[in-house]
Amino acid sequence: MSLVQLIAHADERGLAASGLACLDRCVPLLGGDDEILRPLWTTLAHPADADAWASRLARVRGALAGPGEPGEGEAALLARRMLAAAPSEPSAAGLRVWADACSLAALRIHRLLDPAGEDAPEETGDAGEAGGAGETGDAGDAEVTGGGVRGGSPLVAAELRRQTAVLELLAEHGTGGLRRAHEVTTEGRRVLRAVVSRRARGRG
């Protein structure tokens, strides 16, 4: 199935994992450490524990959702809005909207940060939106969305593969797929952290 179909068919756990994984890979843009979202990952083993999700989400927001830095780029703004849009109540309807928005926002972030696309004109929508009603297609041309993110750059293609892998793992293995989904996400976070670090050195 395509990514948009995987999101459409995912259950609450799969949707939460999808949105959380997208946010987790983008944590370097928010100055967070690699373990900041682990408490939220832990709650996914017990999807009925809505109170635990809400309280841990509030703590994460307190740690990460500070005011943006002066001159902060669109990628960081999108990551902040991904966190702000996370539903406090992990219902299927709210999580589906969030997972879809996070998918689009994460693809856009990776396109903005891809070194291969730094000299190309950006084809993005309003930075005030984290996503929304994005239709992400198959990976044949890296990614196709309804929200303005286009292009087949390597960083974007890798992010699309990771988003698909997380949803497939949860669809096939349920709770048993969480560990591998987290490993896939950790790999992506390391890649993005290296990209962010190189960009910072380049500006310095």
Q: Is 142 exposed, middle or buried (0-12, 13-18, 19+ CB in 10 A)?
A: buried
Tell me which of 44-48, 60-64, 112-116, 196-200 is least confident. Answer: 44-48
Q: What is the pLDDT of residues 17-41, one digit of tens each?
A: 999 999 999 999 998 899 999 999 9
Q: Which pLDDT band, with edges at 50, 70 and 90, does 138 fall under?
A: very low
- Percent of the chain clearing pLDDT 70 (strictly above): 76
Token pair belonging to 173: 């293995």
The predicted model scores a pTM of 0.83
- Three-class SS state of 167: helix
Q: What is the mean pLDDT of the chain?
A: 83
